[in-house]
Structure 1
Amino acid sequence: MEEIDLNLLVALDVLLAEGSVTEAAKRLGLSPSAMSRTLSRLRAVTGDPLLVRAGRSLVPTRFAEALQDRVHAVTQDARAILRPAISEIDIATLETTFSVRVSEAFLELLAAPLVAAMTEAAPHVRIRFVLKPDKEPRMLREGLIDLEIGVLGVPAPELRTRLLLRDRLVGIAREDHPLLTGEALTSERYAACSHVVASRKGEFAEAVDEALAWKNLKRDIRVVVPGYPDAMRIAASTDFIAAIPFSCLGKRGVNEPLAARGVRSFELPFETPEIHIVAIWHPRVDADPAHRWLRDIVARVCRAAYP
């Protein structure tokens, strides 16, 4: 690059547009003599006169005429690349597609209000929801998705995160389950029930089992399903009980959606760690105003549903 002076491209663009050393000098804030020296350098670099005398004016050579549009396009592209990044955009006219990776539970509970909020603010924006089979950061790193929503999984120090909501586990069982009638709900009674567990990886152990282990208890896990909605459906029609995030109960934890499914929620008789639901993205889009708007509207929808 030491052999190439890109400033010469800007000078050539102006010279060809003006057809005058004097006018080109005015546009670039140079003296006529400095502009004349620049033209001499351009002639030496290209091996062509570029501008030649025709009476009292200068006219471009055929080589210069052939170059003019290309030179102008290159200089415009260079200016666009090197100018400061846009910090504000008109969301109402934004046209783009966002790919967001979510869990089945998020898709069921919050996809509709998120789409409604996005469509109202940005009617030309499209959103593609992608279900996540795992928590690997590869898709974010490779730019295959724009945003991921869920629990932070495999450590990836370079990824950015934003807390969307704090969640916790609660129990669910069918309306007339024996666990919810008569005696007080204890850890022993809870562990003695038959359990259905939601796990994308098909694992039998989770936070509930660690909490029970501290009490020297072990639950009887009979079924493992991929997602929480699956666990809720099974709990509604069997004697199995399940532990699900509080957010899965519906907006603000209201139990009306559960009643329609024939299940009830209850507080677990032991403590489990708090669940942090976060938005996750790659640093390459951190400063992008469109992506910043996406993050903000996702956070706003989550706050409205679970204040």
Structure 2
Amino acid sequence: MENVDLNLLTALDVLLEEASVTGAARRLGLSTSAMSRTLTRLRFVTGDPLLVRAGRHLVPTPYAMDIREHVHILTRDVQAVLRPQHRELDLKTLDRTFVLRANEGFLNVASAPLVTSILKEAPRVRLQFAPKPDKDALPLREGRIDLEIGVRGASAPEIRSRLMFRDTFIGVARIGHSLFADGDISVARYAACQHVAASRRGTFWGPVDDALEQLGYQRNVSVVVPGFPDTLEIVRHSDLITHVPRSCLAALSKETPGISDLKLFPLPVQTSEIAISAMWHPRLDADPAHRWLRDIVQSICKQVFAC
């Protein structure tokens, strides 16, 4: 449909209701001459006179009588679609499924308090946690993921994001490791150890290796595993050392099995902070339920990651 002017629909609705060019002009804030020109256009578009003179008044044609109710319904529906809505969000009756994507480390720490808070406020909401094998933005674009938590990639500039917290790497080795024998941990002694690294892509190189290379060192990565919790288990039972985001340790307590076998230490090299963000597609930006979800995720992150 080319050159369709939806303003004509509103004008037709008012004209048929008022049966008066002057009355319709007053309601729409137009001059009488402008309203008269609009009626001329409507007559041309519809091929019908619509309103004809009967003495000093205008009366609708049979066609106008026939379409009057239909035009009114259409006008109301168009206005409902094109005007912004300000409906109150009723969390008690909100019936919706949200799909969240996050890595294992985040879920280990934040999933339990997040689920508890969401279901307390919105008991009919359903949550589905999806695996995060990469930073591909396609699931967000296609609507298969509602909210993603992690490090923002550079491949999808239209994706919206909000910083949740900042993370840093911390070194981990077993209690009694020779690395702790001689006081402060030097870069040379750190690089000389055997390392276990976590990488979803299975790579042996990461930010720590970049930092070491700038100082003229290279570490020996003997093992690569998919997730940071796996590195801790290997470190606990071997002489390998590792580094993990400090957030991975937030869920661990003194009562966690095996935690007393591990010792944390600051890395002897500087690495950039890790910015953990919530990401979503712009189509959900103004959605009240999605805004509530983003707010509650940020609130939980502030609680469990002390940020």
TM-score for both structures, normalised by structure 1: 0.77
Counterpart of 2:194?
194
Counterpart of 1:306?
305
1:240 and 1:69 mapped to 2: Cα distance?
Answer: 78
Counterpart of 1:90?
90
CA distance 1:269–1:42, change in 2 (3 Å):
closer
Counterpart of 2:80?
80
Counterpart of 1:297?
296
Deviation of 1:270 (Å) = 0.8
Q: Please say which of residues 101-110 and 234-243 is displaced more in the overlay.
A: 234-243
Counterpart of 1:280?
279
CA distance 1:9–1:205, change in 2 (3 Å):
same
SS at match of 1:256: coil
**Residue type matched to 1:290 in 2?**
A
Deviation of 1:269 (Å) = 4.1
Instruction: After superposition, give the CA deviation of every residue in 1:215-255 in whole Å (9 maximum; x if it has no partner).
Output: 4332221111111122222223333222100110124xx64
**Residue type matched to 2:285 in 1?**
D
RMSD of aligned C-alpha atoms?
3.8
SS at match of 1:153: coil
1:267 and 1:131 mapped to 2: Cα distance?
Answer: 30
2:211 and 2:44 mapped to 1: Cα distance?
Answer: 80
1:221 and 1:232 mapped to 2: Cα distance?
Answer: 15
Q: Is the 8 A contact 1:172 1:265 kept in 2?
A: yes
Counterpart of 1:159?
159
Q: Does 2:261 align with 1:270?
A: no
Q: Please say which of residues 280-289 and 67-76 is displaced more in the overlay.
A: 67-76
Instruction: After superposition, give the CA deviation of every residue in 1:160-190 in whole Å (9 maximum; x if it has no partner).
Output: 322211211112233x442365432523333
Counterpart of 2:173?
173
SS at match of 2:98: strand
Counterpart of 2:254?
256
Q: Is the 8 A contact 2:169 2:267 kept in 1?
A: no
Gaps of 5+ in 2: 53-58
1:305 and 1:42 mapped to 2: Cα distance?
Answer: 63
Instruction: After superposition, give the CA deviation of every residue in 1:72-99 in whole Å (9 maximum; x if it has no partner).
Output: 4432221112212438533343333322
Q: Does 2:227 align with 1:227?
A: yes
CA distance 1:259–1:189, change in 2 (3 Å):
farther
1:214 and 1:39 mapped to 2: Cα distance?
Answer: 76
CA distance 1:103–1:60, change in 2 (3 Å):
farther
Q: Is the 8 A contact 2:151 2:277 kept in 1?
A: yes
Q: Is the 8 A contact 1:249 1:257 kept in 2?
A: no
Counterpart of 1:131?
131
1:2 and 1:202 mapped to 2: Cα distance?
Answer: 54
Alignment of structure 1 residues 131-150 onto 2, 5 Å = 131-150=131-150
Q: Please say which of residues 281-290 and 201-210 is displaced more in the overlay.
A: 281-290
Counterpart of 2:9?
9
Deviation of 1:102 (Å) = 0.8
2:301 and 2:92 mapped to 1: Cα distance?
Answer: 22
1:6 and 1:151 mapped to 2: Cα distance?
Answer: 44
Gaps of 5+ in 1: 53-57
**Residue type matched to 2:295 in 1?**
D
TM-score for both structures, normalised by structure 2: 0.77
* Identity over aligned pairs, percent: 48
1:109 and 1:73 mapped to 2: Cα distance?
Answer: 52
Deviation of 1:126 (Å) = 2.4
2:13 and 2:276 mapped to 1: Cα distance?
Answer: 53
**Residue type matched to 2:149 in 1?**
I
Q: Is the 8 A contact 1:170 1:245 kept in 2?
A: yes
CA distance 1:59–1:105, change in 2 (3 Å):
same
How many residue pairs get aligned? The number is 299
